[in-house]
A and B are shown apart, each in its own frame.
Chain A
Amino acid sequence: MIGSLPSCPYPLCLYCKCESTLFNFVVDIKKRQKQEEIIMLSMKKLTAVFIILSWGIISYGINAATAIDSILLYTPFTKISVPPGESIDYTIDVLNKGETLETFDLAVSNIPRSWSYTLKSGAWNVRQVSVLPGEKKSLSLRIEVPYQVNKGNYRIYVSAGDAYTLPLTVNISEQGTFRTEFTTRQSNMEGHAASTFNYTAELRNRTAEAQTYALQGQVPRGWIITFKANGKQVTSVDAEANGTVNISIEVKPADQVEEGRYVIPVRAVSGTSSGDLSLEAVITGTYKMELTTPTGLLSTDIVAGEERKINLVVRNTGTSVLSDVKLTHAAPVNWEVTFEPEKIETILAGREATVTATVRADKKAIPGDYVTNLEARTPEASSKASFRISVKTPMLWGWLGVIIILAGIGTVWYLFRKYGRR
């Protein structure tokens, strides 16, 4: 109080109005202290007498009463909400408020059978604890919540002998499972028939033991499914308890797959548990075609100025319907190419249509090989066939030459007859 005089916090204090009163105040304090000491002395004497008197009468009863009340189990968070599979760490303080040393057993009760717990202090499991008067001990309680647990509140009692019971409430936030989780973030993929679908899946082992999972996928005939873990192609994977394995699933559609949506069920099966995943592959149609001849022969011969019919086959090698297939050509100058029919309405996937092309060579075409390109075309796809057409000269001039020579020989023969045999 003296130290706080210059700015006295007490507004009713009479002694802090001016410095000159300081001395008077000190004197006054000393007087008051003396009076208090006198009172205290008399009081001590009285209580001492009282204690001595009552000691003998109620010493035992008081002793028991203080033991029950003096022990206290304390933890700050008594209601904890966790998902299944988690473990909870409580720090429990054991306080002895009494005057005497207290020793008592520790027990955890009302815990569900599948749950497990450990009560430890430092490195040891603790079953009994002694606490000196006025001191406290810290214990750590670890409760492991299994996966297979129902949603709700669970009350667990931690008791210190009979003296004190600490109720703990564990709230399981969701319905627990004992199972395998097989999930993917993106189960639907789209692509054309020639593409490869790569799915990324997670296999979570939510059981208490390590599991070996066999991986299976049910694909339509002709499809290829491969599983990869850690970059290697696998048929089974090991997952530790509560462990996660990343699996990439590669799906290759069949060669001649039709467009549509395909569901591929994938399973990871272990001895005790299994996980299911369903993948979706959406195949878009492809437009492909091939222009060729029934025999595949792309060469023919033709006499200059004459016609030659070529049978053509337009094959739909894609997975969609081709419609309005037009046939065009790129032939040498003065060559004529006509198609019968000129246009094909539709060709179903995998089917073929036949066309007859009539090629008429130029009259002045020189003998030897010429290239004529024939093309089948839709807006989506086109196919070109290059024909090597060997031009032959008409035999007409050859026969004319032969006639001239024969005429010459005939003349000689005539002369032989006329002059020679006289």
Chain B
Amino acid sequence: MIFITTILKEVMTMYNYLITLTGKLRNNGERAKRPFRVIMEKEIADHVSSWRFIILIAIIALTCMGSLYTALSNISQAVKPNDPEGSFFFLKLFTITDGTMPSFTVFISFLGPLLGIGLGFDAINSEHNRGTLSRVLSQPIHRDYIINAKFAAALFVISVMLLSLGIMVMGAGLVTIGIPPTAEEFMRMVFFILLSILYVAFWLNMSILFSVLFRQPATAALSAIAVWLFFSVFYPLIVNLITRSMEPAATASPQQLMAFEQFHLTLMRVMPNQLFSEATTTLMMPSVRSLGPLTMEQMIGAIPGPLPLGQSILLVWPQVTGLMAGTIVSFVIAYILFMRREIRSR
């Protein structure tokens, strides 16, 4: 956790250094920084030094350490003969578990929303309540810089954090098992981290939306957590309730069974965490070839084997598109609401 905070600070200094360097190169170092960048840097600095972020990062880092520890202690059992994923030994670090602790990917899918919500629920309303918003807006800047910079700063922090976590897991695995990841494994891990960033960005946008909607930060936080809980706990229950009543008999025709399975899966795919877990499973287990129900016709002649990375990405592309669309939609709503809001100083 201290490690990540340090990394973030280092990144910030490097970023500043690069800015000044490019400024010097342009020979206009005297010019003031662009207001968007100023707001963003300020936001990042606020996040990094806030207790809220430190606690969140501590929770996530510790649970990931725990899952990494279980993965490392069980990695010897993970290697089986005739495993089509035998050449993707390194990826197992992210997926295997002995049942006592969920794996790294499951933790990200569970705690990632919390991180996004935590960084976004008070983005607008706290500024509004403190009266700082009108003060900032009295400066000659565009109004949308505020919401954009808030989002960008939180996303930047999340990206650096998840990247460093992933690299930490890779490094710890490399030290422990001594086998370097192949290029494809590395690419898969990078895509997994990008996917996680996208997933957290979705929740971040949702909480920013709530922070625009509700004046009280506590209300925004609670409603965001309610949405998260609804999707992680209640929605699957409701889907099960609905589908159980519709379940065809065991003697039903294959077409009916197929249609039912498809329907169930469609309902489940409303959940962002379902989309995320499908995408991570496909990325981290290259032998996954399909995410829906399959007919026997499709299975005849198929031999188990890992998919190439491009095919895996193509397979989860709908999920990625869905997550990205969700992110954009919530951002657009938050943006419109914020832009139309009347901001008065108290």
The chain A residues found within 8 Å of chain B, CB to CB, are 331-335, 362, 364-372, 388, 390, 392-393, 395, 397-398, 401-402, 404-405, 408-409, 411-412, 415-416, 419-422
Contact = CB atoms under 8 A, between A and B. Distances in A.
Given A393-B314, A401-B317, A421-B142, A364 B297 contact: yes
Interface of B: 142-145, 289-290, 294-298, 300-305, 307-308, 310-311, 314-315, 317-318, 320-321, 324-325, 328-329, 331-332, 335-336, 339-340
A-B pairs with lowest CB-CB distance, top 4: A332-B301, A408-B328, A420-B144, A401-B321
A332 B295 CA distance: 12
Given A412-B331, A420-B339, A367 B325 contact: no
B302 A368 contact: yes
A331 B143 CA distance: 62
A284 B69 CA distance: 69
Contacts of B324: 405, 408
Contacts of B303: 368-371, 388
Contacts of B301: 331-333, 335, 370-372
Contacts of A411: 328, 332
Nearest to A418: B339
A416 B300 contact: no
A362 B298 contact: yes
A232 B97 CA distance: 66
A368 B289 contact: yes
Given A364-B295, A364-B297, A371-B301, A422 B143 contact: yes
Among B142, B310, B321, B339, the one with the most A-chain Cβ atoms within 10 Å of its Cβ is B321
A298 to B, nearest CB: 13
Contact of B307 (A335, A367, A408): A367
A412 B311 contact: no
A372 to B, nearest CB: 7
A335 B298 CA distance: 10
Nearest to B308: A390
B328 A397 contact: no
26 contacts: A331-B301, A332-B302, A333-B297, A333-B301, A335-B301, A362-B298, A365-B298, A366-B294, A367-B311, A368-B289, A368-B307, A371-B303, A388-B303, A392-B311, A393-B311, A393-B314, A395-B314, A397-B314, A401-B320, A401-B321, A405-B325, A408-B324, A408-B332, A409-B328, A415-B335, A415-B339
B321 A332 contact: no
A402 B290 CA distance: 20
Given A393-B311, A419-B339, A420-B143, A369 B305 contact: yes
Contact residues of A: prevailing secondary structure: mixed
Contacts of B332: 408, 411-412, 415
B110 to A, nearest CB: 26
Among B297, B300, B301, B332, the one with the most A-chain Cβ atoms within 10 Å of its Cβ is B301
A237 B339 CA distance: 112
Among B289, B311, B329, B340, the one with the most A-chain Cβ atoms within 10 Å of its Cβ is B311
Nearest to A401: B321
A330 B325 CA distance: 43
A250 B295 CA distance: 60
Nearest to A395: B314
Contact of B314 (A367, A390, A404, A408): A367
Contact of A412 (B143, B145, B305, B328): B328
Contacts of A398: 314, 317
Contacts of A422: 142-143
B144 A416 contact: yes
Given A333-B296, A393-B311, 5 more contacts: A362-B297, A368-B303, A369-B303, A370-B303, A420-B143
Contact of A368 (B305, B310, B317): B305
A333 B300 contact: yes
A420 B170 CA distance: 42
Contacts of A393: 311, 314-315
Contacts of A420: 142-145, 339
A399 B303 CA distance: 28
A368 B304 CA distance: 8
A308 to B, nearest CB: 15
A387 to B, nearest CB: 10
B242 to A, nearest CB: 27
Contacts of B294: 366
B61 to A, nearest CB: 31
B326 to A, nearest CB: 10
Contact of A370 (B302, B317, B320, B339): B302
Contacts of B320: 401
Contacts of A366: 289-290, 294, 298, 302
A332 B303 CA distance: 11
Nearest to B297: A333
A341 B210 CA distance: 68
A366 B320 CA distance: 19
Nearest to A373: B301
Contact of A419 (B296, B310, B315, B336): B336
A367 B292 CA distance: 13
A234 B214 CA distance: 105
A286 to B, nearest CB: 33
B319 to A, nearest CB: 9
Contacts of A415: 332, 335-336, 339
